[in-house]
Structure 1
Amino acid sequence: MLKQVMEILELLDSASVTGERVKNFLRGRGLENIWVEEVKSDKGKTDFIKIFVKGKKGKSVGGDAPTMGIIGRLGGIGARPEMIGYVSDGDGATAALSVALKLADMNSQGDFLEGDVIIATHICPNAPTQPHDPVPFMGSPVDMQTMNKMEVDPQMDAILSIDTTKGNRILNQRGFAITPTVKDGYILKVSDSLLDIMQTVTGKLPVVLPITTQDITPYGNGLYHLNSIMQPCTATSSPVVGVAITAESAVPGCATGASHETDIELAARFVLEVAKSFGKKACKFYDEIEWEKIIKLYGSMEYLKKLGRDKDE
């Protein structure tokens, strides 16, 4: 998928890139169902883009194949005027859009996935920055509640959330890592299916990013979050797994010249392989029987999806 990654990077590395420009580019490669919506706030604006790719046996054509959700999570692809050029934080958008482009190229060659695939992200070349330890974060022109509303689709039966996760001292290895599965306030065991696919795609032993209870609670509650990779889990009952693009050293999200095409490609190729397997019902994000037992034993933890026990989002 390196070709698709390089094409998307070239498209996004622009001070004037918009969601409409990305939409037109993808339509030129054969994708038809693409929606773009501009959202503004007092911090700026961004273009949300959602791409729907039909599967051979997907729900959109009356089939029963599950729908894969792919979210490119980020603050922005640029931090202009403070920083010139494409920033590290944009890798989630690049990976997600590269999957969309690869699916378009596959379809044009006669290869179609079993299930439908929904890809969502946003395009912002001039996002704000914000302080964070150990390195500065990229901010966003919109709040997390808006981001989840625009990107988390109720049709998604499982979600892979791709996010640059380099600004930490928790995982010190270049490439990508996956998180345990999160569902309705529970951090579940790491999916064996996803570990198998990761091992096959990378040719190496799988790498898992540790997450905490704080990470699966909503932004805005005053708690520390590693980053926004798990925020989609606060807006859905579908299982969510983070796909973290990582580095050996702590790299600011607002840094330019810090993206590695091969790492983005590896993460994107993993996501595509998961989508293939998930549509065939050959990939499980969690154990349904054990899930029922957990709920029976300990009850609901869905209050962790809110700002607090006595607060609503």
Structure 2
Amino acid sequence: MLKQIIDIFEILDSPAASGAQVQEYISSIGEAGCEIKRATSDKGATDFIRITVPGIRGKAAGGEAPTLGIIGRLGGLGARPERIGFVSDGDGALAVLAAAAKLAKMAAEGDRLAGDVILTTHICPDAPTRPHKPVPFMDSPIPMELKNDWEVSREMDAILSVDTTKGNKILNHRGFAISPTVKDGYILKTSDDLLELMAQVTGKLPQVFALTQQDITPYGNGLYHLNSILQPCTATAAPVVGVAITTEVPVAGCATGATHLMDVEAAARFALEVAKSFTEGACAFFDAAEFSKIQSLYGPMTHFQTSGNGAA
């Protein structure tokens, strides 16, 4: 879907980038429902965008096929006026909006998936930055709680969270990597089905990135987080898998000229293949029987989805 990547990139790489522009583009090439909500704070503003591509047997049509959520996580697309141009942090939004465009085009041409796909992200060309080690992070004009309220939907039966994950010393592979599945405060084994789809899409051995317990707790609790890639897991009971767009060396989220379009395209294509398989019921994010057993042995872990006891 390189054409969609390039088209969306041209829209987003602008100080005037907006949800309305993305909506107009997707409407011009395909069929999908699109909602936009403007949110503001003392740090700035952003356009939340939710795109729904109905499936043949999806919930929107009264069917029972599962719904996949695909979330583009980021602070902002740009750091204007501090930096001019599209920043590395915007790769997650770019991948998800390109996937939405491709799915909408497929639907218009008759290639509809079994179930619904809901794709969400936000569009902010002038987000602030903040200090972070080993390299600076992009900040966001909107708090994480509000992002989760908009981006995480109760209709989502499983979620892929796509995010630039370059500002660290943990990942040393250029391309993309996936996380183990996270559900209800548990870090579970990595899905075999997702590993197979990743190998299919890339033609290479799959890459998995490490998670810590801190990474799956809510922002604002005073703990170190790799980044916000797993923050959706704090707001849902659905299984969540991170799709990290990665580099061999640490690259700041506010760096410009650091978007590798072929890597973003591969991540978007992976999300599309997961959507096909999951909505058909052919891709499991976790083993339900094993999850039931681990809960019976060790009890609930949902307290990790909260801010804790307040002793940050």
Q: What TM-score do the two structures reach when normalised by structure 2?
A: 0.98
Distance (Å, rounded) in 2 between the aligned partners of 1:310 and 1:100: 39
Distance (Å, rounded) in 2 between the aligned partners of 1:214 and 1:108: 42
Determine if the alignment matches structure 1 residue 102 to structure 2 residue 99. no
Distance (Å, rounded) in 2 between the aligned partners of 1:32 and 1:190: 31
Shift of 1:108: 2.5
Mapped contact 1:20–1:36 kept (Cα < 8 A):
yes
Choose 276-285 or 26-35, whichever is displaced more.
26-35
Q: For structure 2, list consecutive stretches of 5 or more residues without a partner in the other structure.
A: none
Cα distance per residue 1:56-110 (max 9 Å; x no partner): 1101111111000000000000000000010000000000000001112212222
Mapped contact 2:31–2:105 kept (Cα < 8 A):
no
SS in 1 for 2:122: strand
Which residue number in structure 2 is paired with residue 17 of structure 1? 17
Distance (Å, rounded) in 2 between the aligned partners of 1:251 and 1:310: 33
Which residue number in structure 2 is paired with residue 269 of structure 1? 269
Which residue number in structure 2 is paired with residue 181 of structure 1? 181
Determine if the alignment matches structure 1 residue 200 to structure 2 residue 196. no
Distance (Å, rounded) in 2 between the aligned partners of 1:57 and 1:107: 13
Which residue number in structure 1 is paired with residue 160 of structure 2? 160
**1:1-313 mapped onto 2 (5 Å cutoff):** 1-309=1-309
Distance (Å, rounded) in 2 between the aligned partners of 1:146 and 1:32: 24
SS in 1 for 2:255: coil
Distance (Å, rounded) in 2 between the aligned partners of 1:37 and 1:71: 16
Distance (Å, rounded) in 1 between the aligned partners of 2:98 and 2:17: 16
Distance (Å, rounded) in 1 between the aligned partners of 2:285 and 2:208: 14
Mapped contact 2:69–2:156 kept (Cα < 8 A):
yes
Deviation above 6 Å: which 4+ runs of structure 1?
Answer: none
Choose 24-33 or 39-48, whichever is displaced more.
24-33
SS in 2 for 1:107: helix
Mapped contact 1:303–1:309 kept (Cα < 8 A):
no
Mapped contact 2:129–2:138 kept (Cα < 8 A):
yes
Cα distance per residue 1:180-230 (max 9 Å; x no partner): 000000000000000000011100000001010000000000000000000
SS in 2 for 1:227: coil
Distance (Å, rounded) in 1 between the aligned partners of 2:108 and 2:232: 31
Shift of 1:231: 0.1
SS in 2 for 1:23: helix
What percent identity do the matched residue pairs reach? 62
Distance (Å, rounded) in 1 between the aligned partners of 2:24 and 2:269: 23
Q: What TM-score do the two structures reach when normalised by structure 1?
A: 0.98
Mapped contact 1:23–1:34 kept (Cα < 8 A):
yes
Q: Partner letter of residue 192 of structure 2?
A: D
Distance (Å, rounded) in 2 between the aligned partners of 1:172 and 1:310: 35
Instruction: Count residues in correspondence.
Output: 311
Q: For structure 1, list consecutive stretches of 5 or more residues without a partner in the other structure.
A: none
Q: Partner letter of residue 95 of structure 1?
A: A
Shift of 1:31: 2.9
Shift of 1:310: 5.7
Distance (Å, rounded) in 2 between the aligned partners of 1:107 and 1:32: 8
Choose 18-27 or 244-253, whichever is displaced more.
18-27
Cα distance per residue 1:211-259 (max 9 Å; x no partner): 1000000000000000000000000000000000000010000000000
Shift of 1:21: 1.4
Shift of 1:32: 3.9
Distance (Å, rounded) in 2 between the aligned partners of 1:66 and 1:306: 27
CA RMSD of aligned residues (A): 0.9
Shift of 1:22: 1.2
Distance (Å, rounded) in 2 between the aligned partners of 1:62 and 1:45: 36
Mapped contact 1:11–1:22 kept (Cα < 8 A):
yes
SS in 2 for 1:266: helix
Q: Partner letter of residue 170 of structure 2?
A: I
Shift of 1:30: 2.5
